[in-house]
Structure 1
């Protein structure tokens, strides 16, 4: 397979910048444009890698595409004159479509090549449509490439071969089974969200106009920007891949815009230092982070998504009817009163990180019934595995779900705020407060 689709000399580059406010990011664009124009030895690939992996991410953003230093410098000057504020992305949805987007050929991406090779090697029954399996493979590989760049949609959907690819991306089916389903026209699990209830939440966000939908579409139906609530990707176009990542970055999505191009970190112009008024301290309800909190928070912010690895989680299955929401919420609120650290929220103020104590207790997540009855796994997924956020989000979570012989509960807490208490001990306290003390048969795992 050729490797020039996104890495050849004439392939597009993306330069993604951010700063603390719109004035600062505009100045940063001007400074970088001047540096590119003045230094012929500065490689765009080195600039892209440095921006993608060597800079902190801020709210005000710009991103430009181009194939050489001169074109990128001109685009940066245009971006500096763009006075539109950065618009938040909202709820992300990935729509793989019906397979027509794959008609332009398979993009030369490793994830696509791997999926297509599997589709071509499958043993299929007589009459099966191998081209449908290959189409699903292209869509799955493109979605996997986007996921590797940092796209974390709340829901993934598709139709025909796109539905099979979506099921594989979400883990509802192994890829081989999904490709067979596409080839034989067999049904696949319906649209699913990346976390419990996320699919329904994404649908509500679309209805309210607050969702950002990334659509795979054939050439001519849009590249990159689209409308205010839609972005488009033609899988066969390298330019469209670059423009989509740039558009996502401009909307506040922390995607990796280096496009896997080889580069090294270089010294670039720094952020402009401006003092617009007297220096003031943080708000009264903010406190500095402890060294322990700083170490873990910064580690998980840099790794983007590793916080779930540092969340303690305990689960249990108990007999009897599922507690009422009011009872479950009251027990969790009482637990947070007993352990004030569980009400900690990490937040930014003036470009620095602080901690505050949430005034409103965290509600319990109630999951609906599931025919597969994987209640323990579902509540764990709802509290930890759907990306445990650490910025401006509760650091303790609790979820309940009906089970075949009773109900399941999971309680997860970010390790740096758990103090001396373990997740098992906290779950046992919550269960006692909820009037359902843990028995030996309901031992936590």
Structure 2
């Protein structure tokens, strides 16, 4: 794609990087076939190619974002399916992130929209605040019909609908400290506790720590660790995202220097995509760029890390049929496609892959709150394909997908690592239908 930025414009690092990305686009349109919003809405401006034209026009002319640009960029899920499809290597992720930062700086949103986005940024990245908000949400449920009847308040209705009716108790596994290996020590890792996940599903990190320590891996939960920054990053709040990144880089660097780390294990693939991008995000920060690049190199999804270990025979052969939903941040963001399925199969599960597996479920961080109607359409499409597999439960590697898909199906849905923990001698996940696993002959 030909660009016409001035030398003065290219002095801005964000513009210069965007210009490099724009030049790689050859207008082929392959991205339209796999873009969830284009497939759903059929509008060229709701495809990656259409958004690229809008972003180019905005940045090239050095103008503030307008209502049209904001509407179509806001509709982007950042699922990154377009990057998997693109034959030219267009880094759409970095382009749209830069566009969102520009929108945040130059566009004044309607009051209710500003309020909603500010509330999400103020609450979701902080577990204590999030837990309090979910507790309060129980009393707001009667207001759902009212909120749904007013267009600007539909995100409030979506928030209340997504809030669980009950919360698990705070897990001791989320507390800072070290979990010693239960067998001969084979390695040492840090685990990202996360922000929303330990409130919504503390059992995910519990299963991860149980499994890894049984396999001889020492797991540390570093003190001061917090949100990875993904939630605010995708809302265009660039400085807030970078502050989150710097904090975590400092904390993990300290662990790396005071005991060593084989990996930073991440159990939410949305967080993994962002942490693996810390090196890029902090490339302009002389004090952090090298440290951030080292941390990004250490970041591993839990299934990615497990495939690096010499696993024993599974303790049980469950024989349970599982529909594996590959989160967008897993398959498109981190390019992890084979490992989770191979691990489940090796652990004795029968794995089914739903049709249209490349299409997003509609979760996408805060998307299912800010764009509830499109998110609901995508969820229903995803659930229909999952249920068509005939599986008795669903496995995935991202808390956002778990929350989103669970609102549209009666099938139990769990994190992949919960099933692996069970197969290798841990407790059976509480929401999984009672099964009678057969003791492995090797045992």
TM-score by length of 1: 0.25
Greater percentage in strand: 1
Tell me: higher relative CO, structure 1 or 2? Use CA pairs within 8 A at least 6 residues apart: 1
User: If you compute each CA radius of gyration, which structure gives the higher value, 1 or 2?
Assistant: 1
User: Which structure shows the higher helix fraction?
Assistant: 2
Give the TM-score normalised by structure 2: 0.25
